Structure 1
Amino acid sequence: MDIYEPFKQVNMWGDSFKVEGGLNSIASPVLLVNTNMEAKSEYIPHEAREPCGNYQETTSTNKDVSKVLRRLAQNREAAKKSRLRKKAYVQQLETSRLKLMQLELEIGKTKKQGMYIGGALDASYMGSPRTLQLQSAGIVAFEIEYGHWVTEQQRWNEELRNAFQNNASNVQLHILVQSVLNHYSNLFRMKVDAAKINVFYLISGVWKASVERIFLWIGGSRPSQLLNIIVPQLEPLTDKQMVSINNLRLSSQQAEDALSQGLDKLQQSMVHNIGVDALGAANFEFQIADAMEKIEALEGFVNQADHLRQQTLLHMSRILTTHQAAQGLVALGEYLHRLRNLSSLWANRSCDSA
């Protein structure tokens, strides 16, 4: 089976599900104040004008006080958010520092254990210390960037919730939906760069919360699983929408199966390659070179899996109304947030039991 065949179907989804119209311009209501009115000066006795003046002065004072109070409240809220962001950033840096130390220890162990059939593995396969340092730095950078991504995802989820509570317009919801979809696209871009540095790290899922790894599939979640999370949380769907969603789910599952089968064949081929005549020095170089080529192919599997995840989200948003798409993204964000919380609770429980 050609593992790329299902992706021909993925590329055709855009023709099947098109969004009518577009968002060319966004008009914001503006309050227009007539500033052309000129105060007319007339002779009015002082006693007659004084009450009016006092009333205007009191009204103006009340408005000024309200503005000041509003501004103070906004400043307090902004300062609070800034403190929380700074605290989260410091915690992320500390976590990344500890992970970097752990990686350095693991690299040291790997160097000591880098023996093959009673002899030291050739230096050309071990990689120079400089290369290992660059890889470690690249992975730490990814983890820091991913930590920021998680924080931003929680913020976008809160924005969507606030939009629902405040009965936001369809235009405002559309902007939020596109922003959240772009945010997920940024994650896939980050993972492309991480796969180039260390594809094994990405596939292992150590960068994700522990409970998230239960559902790991080629460096992430199954696209069909994302649909199963989103769809039950939506408002009643039309018959046409249900047909489109079922077609999308089927296409996603076909692509998932093709990638899984391709990965299985790659693993079997590696086992066969490395296992054949393992004690023969003559074929050693050829076996290692062939295995390296297959390892490089893993990067393509991760990228294709992420492409499938991204396309599934995009086509799902085109099938749904703007309101439904916003609901679905809130459900997905809340699901991932709960997995991370569950991981934290489990880690704390394990520490308390120790």
Structure 2
Amino acid sequence: MANRSHRTGGLSIASPASSLSKRSSLPTLRRLAQNREAARKSRLRKKAYIQQLESSRIKLTQLEQELQRARTPYARWLDEHHRLMCDLRAAVQEHLPETELKMFVDGGLGHFDQLMALKAIAAKSDVFHLVSGMWLTPAERCFMWLGGFRPSDLIKVLVSHIEPLTEQQILAIYALRTSTHETEDALSQGLEALHQSLSDTIASDELSAPSNMANYMGQMAVAMNKLSTLEGFVRQADNLRQQTLHRLHHILTIRQAARCFLAIAEYFHRLRALSSLWVARPRQD
């Protein structure tokens, strides 16, 4: 009777209370196992996220170094541009023959092509730096469009400096300005569509629950892909600027082209001078 187990045919039969305890512990064990697995997956996601952050930090450092290397050549480009424009101005004032003047004009156009190459490098390093206009003076940023000047506006500024024009030249310049303006509108509309699409992605409900790291990172990858197209817009805008100057060069005579490049240089020099005056203006307390 001391043994509380019932024996039947030599077999021990557990009490009902013991069987109930075992059955009730099974869900608890399953929950504990599920919690351990969830914790393990959470640690793995956190580790992957930290590794991704570190990788992004390294890439950002590399991009900053590349951008700094791009800024220095741009400063040198500005110095060289000033020297070339001084030489071109002297050549115009000395009334050099067009055969000699052409070398100065071609040199100025080629130098502008170098700027486009520098901007292409900078766009790959940090396209936002170009789009924000932080590489320009404050007054220049007022007239910025996709990382630079708007070609159609520049044509309007230049016309008065390259007169007199033949009727054929007037028609060609008018057609150039019209086509340039249409391309600018198309790029601006594309950029606006990109902004809207990117805004919709960032506002998505899938980004409202960062605890679901897979969805969160997936949506961020979609946003990154959309954002990467911004470099393409800047590149197309720079190509339009470059093509506009080259087409003007073909429409105009050598002497007109010389006055054209001098007018462009003077225009941006005045904007930079205005910026200097603005920065140095007296402030009221």
Q: Is 1:344–2:276 an aligned residue pair?
A: yes
Residue 133 (1) aligns with residue 61 (2): yes
TM-score by structure 2 length? Answer: 0.78
Q: CA 1:126/1:330 → structure 2, altered by over 3 Å: closer, same or farther?
A: farther
1:230 and 2:162 aligned: no
Distance in 1, matches of 2:252 and 2:143, equals 26
**Partner Cα separation in structure 2 for residue 246 and residue 260 of structure 1:** 21
Q: CA deviation at 1:122?
A: 3.6
Equivalent in the alignment of 1:334: 266
Matches within 5 A, 1:132-281: 132-277=60-205, 278-280=207-209, 281=212
138-147 vs 247-256, which moves further: 138-147
Q: Secondary structure at the match of 2:137?
A: coil
Per-residue CA deviation, residues 242-272 of structure 1 (Å, 9 max, x unaligned), is: 0000000011001000000001101100111
Output the CA distance in 1 between the equivalents of 2:240 and 2:53: 33
Once residues 338 and 127 of structure 1 are traced to their aligned partners in structure 2, the CA distance between those partners, rounded to angstroms, is 44
1:314 aligned onto 2:242: no
Answer whether contact 1:270 1:291 (CA < 8 A) is retained.
Answer: yes
Larger radius of gyration: 2
One-letter amino acid of the structure 2 residue matched with residue 171 of structure 1: T
Query: 1:235 offset after TM fit, Å?
Result: 2.4
Provide closer, same or farther for how the CA distance between residues 127 and 263 of structure 1 changes in structure 2, counting only shifts above 3 A.
Answer: farther
CA distance, structure 1, for counterparts of residue 274 and residue 193 of structure 2: 35
Which one is further off, 274-283 or 138-147? Answer: 274-283
Distance 1:143 1:343 in 2: 19
Instruction: Provide the alpha-carbon RMSD of the alignment.
Output: 2.0
Give the aligned partner of residue 291 of structure 1. Answer: 223
Question: Distance between the aligned counterparts of 2:198 and 2:184, measured in 1?
Answer: 21
CA distance in 2, matches of 1:242, 1:126: 58
Residues 43-94 of structure 1, C-alpha deviations (whole Å, 9 max, x = no match): xxxxxxxxxxxxxxxxxxxxxxxxxxxxxxxxxxxxxxxxxxxxxxxxxxxx
The structure carrying a bigger helix percent of its residues is: 2
Contact 1:157 1:334 in 2 (8 A): no
Query: Are the aligned partners of 1:241 and 1:319 in contact in 2 as well (CA < 8 Å)?
Result: yes
Q: Secondary structure of the equivalent of 1:217? A: coil
Q: CA deviation at 1:126?
A: 6.6
Q: Which has the higher contact order (CA 8 A, sep 6+)?
A: 1
Name the aligned partner's letter for residue 344 of structure 1.
Answer: S
Post-superposition CA distance 1:210-256 (Å, at most 9, x none): 11000010000111012112111112101110000000001100100
Give a deviation string over 1:111-142, Cα, whole Å, max 9, x none.
xxxxxxxx9x9442574443232222222222
Quote the sequence identity (%). Answer: 42
Q: CA deviation at 1:156?
A: 1.3
Gaps of 5+ in 1: 1-118
1:271 is paired with a residue of what secondary structure? helix
Structure 2 equivalent of residue 303 of structure 1: 235
